[in-house]
Structure 1
Amino acid sequence: MSDLTDVSELRRRLWEAVVDGDEYGAVDVVDAALAESVDEETLLLEVIAPVQERIGSEWAANRITVAQEHAATAINERVVAALAHRRPAAEGRTGRLGRVTVSCVDGEWHAFPARLVSEVLRLRGWRVDFLGAQTPTPHLIAHLHHTNPDAMLLSGSIPTHLPAAHTAITACQAIGVPVVTGGRAFGPDGRYARALGADRWAADAREAAAVLEAGLRRPAPSVTRQAVDDLPHLVDQEYTTVAQSRPRLVKQVLTDLDSRFPAMRAYSDAQRERTAEDIAHLVDFLVTALYLDDASLFTDFLTWTAGILEARGVPAHSLVTGLRILADQLHDFPRSLGMIEAGTDAIEGDRPGPAPAHE
């Protein structure tokens, strides 16, 4: 077997190019593989996608910087574009199997997974409207009215955007367009996709293609259902109340950390700003866990964050202190307190959780 047909060798070469910031070298890797008859789908899903996953893992372990992570991702995106631009223009416009729309959830800016899905579907014979990152739901629905696709493929990497995903799912279905969801935000087994009423969930691009090829029944157009119809626990209003209190909660936790976590007094302005961002993420994940009534969403985020902090020399105990302050502020909210207790136990027990998408 030639080195240029060995996917593990191709991954190694592409990784070296992207981490060195060598865009031309990265494109040369896939060009040479194509010349050796490695097919595009293999390059997309077995070479480029694993390299992108490694970029995130290396950032999380503090082995590459944020700037390196951004540069490597940008190069990987250009590699995908270079592959796509090799195809005849007419090939992507015909759509012999039908037409679909691929988009990220409103607020979601990790567009790379959705781009991979789009390119695989085009290779399989679909006409794809790829809308990219952060598509506002009203604009998404306007596009669907205009194009009337066979399906909407909705991508999300960060779980805190799941309430927005729920809105998009119900809006698409209300105009008769079935929704296939994918991405880490929807849970490793698609549990959140099912909870939010999506028509189907796909673990990866090949599964998404298989779902489409098997056919999806169009939902009957109807009045958009309410969130509580899918998630009856929302009737207790705890999610709504805590979500509305988010600015106050973040400010209070940051203020109280000054007195209860002495090391913070020596923080620079930049460190304090980063701490405020971390607290905001913590509250956002708690709010989303309340929306779905799933404590594991919160605990997985906390154990992942503890690992990120430890890799950067920040003790995980600072998270526990923040959680205790948050519990003091939410003493009248039983679901919140239960999730905070579970999160505290997870950190103190040092139980690893699956990695959410990196920031």
Structure 2
Amino acid sequence: MRTIESEVIPRLLLIHGVSPTAPRARSGVTDADVELLASHLLARSDDFVDEFVIDIEARGIDLETLLLDLLAPSARLLGVMWEQDLCDFTDVTIALARLQRVLRKMTARFESTEEWMPSGPAVLLSVTPGEQHTFGLSLVSEFFRRAGWSVVDELAETEEDVVRRVRQQSFTVVGFSLSGELLRDRLASVIKSVRKFSRNKNVGVIVGGAAFQEHPEWVSLVGADASANDGLEAVVQSQSLSQLLKA
């Protein structure tokens, strides 16, 4: 871990034109924007939500910032509002469905102006079987696609679904999301099966989600190689793993 933190990650960041010492600026998106989007998702029509997001895009904010500083915090805020009984399960479900739609439309607009040719290593991204929180995984997928990775999204319902996928195709990295403790042991079992049955015997495993933000010690407990707090970090960590596994 010291080698990854002190050597591998800084080199990768420099390659991609990012200073390894400077924090990523939250330019153009405010906490008020996040709160407004969350409230609009709960109370307004799809067209109103679209107009709100387009107005924010018009400030000249890039897709990375929109994903990390607007959509992801809005999803987290909806979760907090649910936990505090400020809205019910149905409200949150509808709001997250709207947020998924915003994500698809937003990335489609950016894709139409950029040359997207996935030619890099393959990554399998999946929720832990039984996990209900999937929006964060959608965000992470977009970051991998923008970095040139060949992405396979898998909303696996069982461990066998994941095993079948890693047997069918060779992946450089497999990533899982986990939101809480309830499915921790199941994730450990799935990761063990991935390493046993994967076509790539040197596959890297990365994890993310609220569970690992609250309990970073669980990363090794479930048998993963690394964790990430957001989509950008997931790509950097996976690139690091890819280089280390080649070595």
> TM-score, normalised on structure 1?
0.55
Q: Secondary structure at the match of 1:85?
A: helix
Residue 189 of structure 1 and its aligned partner are, at CA, apart by 4.3
Please point out which of 237, 243, 246 is paired with 1:211. Answer: 237
Aligned match of 1:200 in 215, 226, 230?
226
- The CA distance in 2 between the partners of 1:56 and 1:10, in whole Å, is 17
Is 1:150 aligned to residue 150 of structure 2?
no
* Aligned residue in 1 for 2:84: 61
User: Does the Cα contact within 8 Å between 2:29 and 2:70 map onto a contact in 1?
Assistant: no
- For residues 170 and 162 of structure 2, the distance between their equivalents in structure 1, rounded to whole angstroms, comes to 12
1:182 lines up with 2:170 in the alignment: no
One-letter identity of the residue aligned with 1:82: K
Secondary structure, counterpart of 2:167 in structure 1: helix
Q: Residue 90 of structure 1: CA displacement?
A: 9.5
Contact 1:21-1:71 within 8 A present in 2 as well = no
Q: CA deviation at 1:182?
A: 0.8
| CA shift for structure 1 position 167 | 1.2
For residues 205 and 6 of structure 1, the distance between their equivalents in structure 2, rounded to whole angstroms, comes to 17
Structure of greater relative contact order (alpha carbons < 8 Å, 6+ residues apart): 2
Report what 1:241 is aligned to.
Answer: none
Contact 2:213 2:229 in 1 (8 A): no
| Pair 63,206 (structure 1): closer, same or farther in 2 beyond 3 Å | same
TM-superposed CA distance for 1:83, in Å, is 1.5
Equivalent residue number for residue 141 of structure 1: 163
Q: SS in structure 2 opposite 1:62?
A: coil
Q: Does 1:110 align with 2:136?
A: no
Task: Please name the residue that 1:162 is paired with.
Answer: 184
**How far off its partner does 1:6 sit?**
3.7
Cα distance 1:90–1:127, how it changes in 2: closer, same or farther (>3 A)? farther
Aligned residue-pair number: 214
Q: Distance in 2 between matches of 1:40 and 1:169?
A: 31
* Correspondence 1:1-359 to 2 at 5 A: 5-86=28-109, 87-88=111-112, 94-132=117-155, 134-174=156-196, 175=198, 176=201, 177-186=203-212, 188-216=214-242, 217-218=244-245
Q: Deviations over 1:45-88 (max 9, x none)?
A: 10011111111111111111222122111111111111122214
Aligned CA distance change for structure 1 residues 148 and 113 (closer, same or farther; 3 Å): same
2:214 alignment partner, SS class: coil
Unaligned runs of 5+ in 1: 220-359
Please state how far the C-alpha of 1:29 moved relative to its aligned partner.
2.2
Change (3 A) 1:61 1:12: closer
State the SS of the aligned residue for 1:30: helix
Contact 1:108 1:157 in 2 (8 A): yes
- In structure 2, distance between residues paired with 1:6 and 1:184: 22
Shift of 1:101: 0.9
TM-score between the two structures when normalised by the length of structure 2: 0.78
Distance in 2, Cα, partners of 1:163 & 1:60: 24
The structure-2 alpha-carbon separation of the partners of 1:96 and 1:189, relative to structure 1 and needing over 3 Å to count, comes to farther
Cα RMSD, aligned residues only: 2.4
> Does the 8 Å contact 1:103/1:135 carry over to 2?
no
Find the residue that maps to 2:123 and give its secondary structure: strand
- Identity in percent: 23
Asked whether the 8 Å contact 2:204–2:241 carries over to 1, the reply is no
Instruction: Check conservation: 2:206, 2:225, Cα contact below 8 A.
Output: yes
Q: Any gaps of 5 or more consecutive residues in structure 2? A: 1-26
